[in-house]
Amino acid sequence: MGVSIDDGACGVWQRVPDEVIGRFDGLPGAAYEVPDEVTCALESGHPDKHMAVLQGWGNQEAWLVWSTPVTVTAPGCRTEGLTCLLSAGHVGRHHVIMTDVVEDEGPYWCNSRADLEMQRAHT
């Protein structure tokens, strides 16, 4: 039974797309066989994108760089009673749809209810 050692690397895995394998496998002077899956080589807890080496040749290396999709559970934004199409606590302007009119209006991008009312007055 092997001993697992935490080396502090991120370790998030990613499947390597077939077209990428085909592009970098078997290059003249290639140092590696391109794997089907890789794990992120950056330090655990790093910001932004993951990366792992795919191939090396001469003094060049090819790296796979990817982002990890995440899901977040949060209530919808209802600031100032507006029906914002984004989650509570979002950054930037609200993306509002008017549902209290005969036919839904919008969506509008606005900073506040006053900003929304001003936009609606000019349409």
Instruction: Please write the tens of the pLDDT for every residue from 50-100.
Output: 999 999 998 888 999 999 667 778 889 988 888 888 888 888 999 998 877
CB 113 within 8 A of CB 82: yes
Cβ–Cβ < 8 Å for 106, 86: no
> Is 50 exceeded by the pLDDT of residue 2?
no
- Ordered by start, the domain boundaries in the chain are 10-121
With a threshold of 0.85, does the pTM exceed it? no
Distance CA 21, CA 25 (A): 6
Q: Quote the pLDDT of residue 13.
A: 93
Tell me what pLDDT residue 37 has: 96
Nearest to 107 by CA among 118, 121, 120, 92: 120
Q: Tell me the per-residue pLDDT of 4-28, one tens digit each, with 9 for 90 and over.
A: 445 788 989 999 999 999 999 888 8
